[in-house]
Structure 1
Amino acid sequence: MNNLLTAFWIENLKVRKSKMIWVTLAAFTVAPLMGGFFMFILKNPGLAERSGLVGDKAQILGEANWPAYFSMLAQIIAVGGILVFGFVTSWVFGRESTDRTLKDLLALPYRRTTIAAAKFLTVFFTTLLLSVHVTVLGILIGFFIGLPGWSASGLIDGLILLLVTTLLTIALSTPAAFVACWGKGYLAPLGFVIFMVVVAQVVAAIGYGQYFPWAVPALFSGIAGDEPTLPWSSLLLVLVTSLAGVGAAFSWWLWADHQ
């Protein structure tokens, strides 16, 4: 356990000292700002039209209230999170191969499984904190623009929606970890993540999103305009995909020929 905590601390130190986390944080910060801007326009369509923020003939659909805003934040995490979390995972698992420092990491007196577990823990806590950042910033923006419909029960429901969406999205980052190990760098996992996002859009558009893991978080967040309810089989599919990614990554660390 002490070795795992030490390895986890080292991996977190790498993240904190890197430019990657700050670039990722800045990119993810734009999302709630845009969501708040959209809600402001919905709340004040006349003011937005007079000030030139939208055209005279623009049609803006939706409601400006807290439940709709929480759903929008969940959709931001579900869609943008697959890309952002995939980028974080690609960096954490592909950095040593790209920088040619993997041999130095393997020379440490730790089990390979300990190093892999520390990397997964680092990805989990880093991406979770990114989601917390989006949630807190989004709530502050919602208060700033004066969204109606605030209630304690609505807050709890919104936070549960955001938490479950976040966990589903984080779970789908584990296959990218294996691709980063197998591809020995950043490009392969980034391409994999982008491909899965594109396929998820297509599969969801034809009505089979609940059978494709990478489409499940977005559907759960209510991106299709429905209530965030999915069959247990869809959630189980995400879990199986996540465990498969973890198992494949651990297998690579244990048995791959590291040179």
Structure 2
Amino acid sequence: MNPQGIAVHVELRKALASRVLHTVTILVVLGIAVLSGTLVAAVLAGNEQINAKLGPLADETGWSLLTGVTAQITAAGALLAFGIALSWTFGREFTEGTITGLFALPVSRHTIALAKLCIHFLWTAAIALTLTVLVLAAGLILELGPVNGEALSQLARQAALTVLTGMIATPAGLAATLGRGPLPGIAVTLVILIAAQVTAVAALDTAAWLPLAAPALWALRPDTVHLGQLALVAIIPILFAALTGIAWRRLQLDR
């Protein structure tokens, strides 16, 4: 097995044993699915207060309503959760003092950093699949109608949104590295979250060109975001993965 494969295997074992990741996984998957289903159930029951708070989604029905509500919660809640998890993944090495041992390993620190990001992306993909299945189950329980082509398309966008949201959280890893702990990464995640929300509201006409806001906008209004604009999201994980790898390669035990 090559060094990258070894590093990925080790990071996978660490992730599987992590209570933090277990907790975040449960909160994201069950939390979003249950909250979305509960809100839609309240609307179907005629709760005008809940319906009034849905904004543009108040006029939607059936699967469009469920996937729209889920997308709104995912865009904010999952981003925060993914950022916290990634901040912990990188920051714990400093706060727990295990970073010193990494200097003695035959596998380079750059390789270890990339392995951490690989596990993060695999984890978010697994969450995306599981969450989508639970949303599908919620829709069937609520009897929102047949699962036709349009419903499947909306569910596919929900899965893609979750994966893209995990990509947007990538800067948290670099922040946790430079700040030598999880808190700087969490702070950067909050900044990303606020920037994405403000951009989507204040600059709706240009939000599709901004990688932080494009995924949520595409999930809710796919006709307003084309494939080229959505592809710009890839810039964030590519750029910050490279920067994080460089930061880990240049790490020094000076503080």
- TM-score norm. by structure 1 comes to 0.86
2:226 is equivalent to residue 237 of structure 1: no
Q: Distance in 2 between matches of 1:209 and 1:215?
A: 6
Aligned match of 1:203: 199
Alignment map for 1:53-202 (pairs within 5 Å):
59=52, 61-151=58-148, 153-202=149-198
Alignment map for 1:2-41 (pairs within 5 Å):
2-28=2-28, 29-41=30-42
Conserved in 2, the CA contact under 8 Å of 1:65 and 1:149?
Answer: no
Q: Distance in 1 between matches of 2:231 and 2:150?
A: 27
Q: What's the CA shift for 1:245?
A: 0.6
- TM-score norm. by structure 2 comes to 0.87
Q: Distance in 1 between matches of 2:229 and 2:176?
A: 25
Look up the SS of the partner of 1:150 in the other structure. Answer: coil
Q: Distance in 2 between matches of 1:220 and 1:227?
A: 4
Higher deviation after alignment, 177-186 or 77-86: 77-86
Q: Which runs of 4+ in 1 moved over 4 A?
A: 57-60
Unaligned runs of 5+ residues in structure 1 are none
CA shift in 2, pair 1:59/1:249, >3 Å? closer
For these two proteins, the number of residue pairs brought into alignment is 247
Q: Distance in 2 between matches of 1:59 and 1:84?
A: 27
Q: What's the CA shift for 1:228?
A: 4.7
CA shift in 2, pair 1:211/1:58, >3 Å? closer
Q: Distance in 2 between matches of 1:99 and 1:188?
A: 16
Unaligned runs of 5+ residues in structure 2 are none
- Identity percentage over the alignment? 27
Alignment-mate amino acid for residue 167 of structure 1:
V
